[in-house]
Amino acid sequence: METNEKKSLWRGIKKVFSTLVDWVATLFGMKDETKYGRVLRRIVGTAFTVVVVLWTVGILIIAGQKVCWMARNILDRGEEYGDAYLSETISENLSFYEHSYNIYGYVADSNGEIVLKKITWISKPMEGDSLVCYSDGEKRGYFHMRNGHIIVPPTYSHAWVFSEGLAAVERNGKVKFIDTTGNVVINRHFAYRTDDDGYVFHGGHCAVRDNTGTHIGLIDRNGEWVVPPVYQEIVPIDTFWHFKALDEQTILTFNMDTVMPPAHATFMIYDTVILATFADHIQKTYSLHGKLIEASQIRNITQLMYETHEVLYPVNKDGNECSDEYYSYSNPAQRMAIATCLRYEAESYWYGLMTPDGRALTPPIYSSIEAIDKDLYLCKSDYDRGVLLNSKGQKVE
């Protein structure tokens, strides 16, 4: 019985193969029914069919290799990341596992036992606090970083990390502060704005908006204003508060000591210095304690050139002026000369005039300076309006 089935299968394959050969031969116009024609059709059809079969097998091999490569990649990723999970240490006892391809992760203890499931992200508290902010994908809450016990269930649309024993939460567009038991301890209806930094306490103070959300100030841990809300922005940087109003800025330490008093300037805090850029584009550097280091920062100094009234004609290799025929291909040019004053750059793309011995004649209040003559300069403002100055920095009427 089994032998008959094998014979039937073989006859079927031969019939399919024969039909394919005849179809290919017909496709090429081989309709000669003589013995020679039939043999020729068989040869050509068989050759073409073999090519098609080999091509198909090659495609299948390539596809198989691709599938094997993808499978090996997935397995390798699973071995490297622990079944595609990335871990983040929370404490000595807890870790958060975030899945590379899934929205949800989980929290497990040092024994591998899962203590919290379906968590999308976590944010660890500031040093000295113990409640971790987390999200279940919809709301935010807090759990203890030692054992994973939920202290505040995820009921808030927005919530921030704990700092100095308090954490900010938002509900209905207002920011309030809770303690480590979840009780609201500051509820002054501070306005919430998405462009503000996290509401974190530094040195007992936190930057929050007033009820209208227009201005920002500093409150203490009782919710009282320490710095009234009169600023557009307050940014904590390292150990400093950077206050920004419309026309002036200030820098205080977290201990509320003045580093840079209110000034019509822009302050940039770097690792070792503070760079101050004033309204006239002069830049000064100060120490992180507010001591003046350099009264005038200069980026570049440029030698200015101007066009004289002398025409410079082309010359040939012998040093003689070229013929009129050459002038038709090469135009004469004006001779250039060096102007008396130099141009210096303070704030980027803002320039002033400087004497050859390095003394500033003008503040860097010009967007461009061009030498017109040896002692005459066209100085343009940012509105592309210019004035003429001489080599003493005086306006030429």
In a domain, 180, yes or no: yes
Model confidence pLDDT, tens digit, residues 104-144: 899 999 999 999 999 999 999 999 999 999 999 999 999 99
Q: Does any domain span residue 326?
A: no
Residue 53 lies in a domain: no
Distances (CA, A) of 201 to 168, 195, 241, 333: 10, 18, 11, 68
Looking at the domain assignment, is residue 263 inside a domain? yes
Could you tell me the pLDDT band of residue 312, with boundaries at 50, 70 and 90?
confident
Question: What average pLDDT is seen over the chain?
Answer: 84
**One-letter amino acid for residue 269 of the chain:** I
Answer yes or no: is pLDDT of 326 > 60.
no
Per-residue pLDDT tens digits for 163-201: 999 999 999 999 999 999 999 999 999 999 988 878 999
Same domain, 247 and 355: no
The answer to whether residue 21 is domain-embedded is: no
Q: Please give the residue range of the domain that contains residue 385.
A: 300-307+336-390
Q: For residues 87 and 144, state if they share a domain.
A: yes
Among residues 231, 259, 287, the one where a domain terminates is 231
The answer to whether residues 121 and 193 belong to one domain is yes
3-state secondary structure the chain: CHHHHHHHHHHHHHHHHHHHHHHHHHHCCCCCCCHHHHHHHHHHHHHHHHHHHHHHHHHHHHHHHHHHHHHHHHHHHHHHHCCCEEEEECCCCEEEEEECCCCCEEEEECCCCEEEEEECEEECCCCCCCEEEEECCCCEEEEECCCCCEEEEEEECEECCCECCEEEEEECCEEEEECCCCCEEEEEEEECCCCCCCCCCECCEEEEECCCCCCEEEECCCCCEEEEEEECEEEEECCEEEEECCCCEEEEECCCCEEEEEECEEEEECCCEEEEEECCCCEEEEECCCCEEECCCCCEEEEEEEEEEEEECCECCCCCECCHHHHCCCCCEEEEEEEEEEEEECCCCCEEEECCCCCECCCCCECEEEEEECCEEEEECCCCCEEEEECCCCECC
The residue ranking higher by pLDDT, 330 or 346, is 346
Reading phi first (left if > 0) and then psi (alpha if -120 to 50, else beta), residue 70 is in alpha
Count of structural domains, the chain: 3
For residue 276, the tally of other CB atoms under 10 A from its CB is 20
- As given in the structure block, the two tokens for residue 82 are 């622990």
Instruction: Tell me: do 240 and 222 sit in the same domain.
Output: no
- Same domain for 239 and 138, yes or no, is no
What pLDDT was estimated at residue 67? 62
190 and 224 share one domain: yes
Residue 265 has pLDDT above 80, yes or no: yes
285 occurs within a structural domain: yes
Angle between the N-to-C axes of helices 35-81 and 2-27, in degrees from 0 to 180, rounded to the nearest 10: 110
Q: Are both 89 and 166 inside the same structural domain?
A: yes
Same domain, 133 and 208: yes
Residue 70 lies in a domain: no
Please indicate, yes or no, whether residues 227 and 237 belong to a single structural domain of this protein: no
For residue 315, tell me if it sits in a domain. no
Pair 251, 268: CB distance under 8 Å: no
Q: Among residues 297, 315, 347, which one ends one of the domains?
A: 297
Give me the pLDDT at residue 61, please: 77
Give the pLDDT band of residue 54 (cuts 50, 70, 90). Answer: confident
Asked if residue 221 and residue 240 are part of one domain, the reply reads no
Q: Examine the fold and report which residue of 277, 297, 317 is the final residue of a domain before the chain moves on.
A: 297
Same domain? For 151 and 215 the reply is: yes
User: For residues 232 and 215, is the Cβ–Cβ distance under 8 A?
Assistant: yes
The CATH number of the domain holding residue 291 is 2.40.10.480
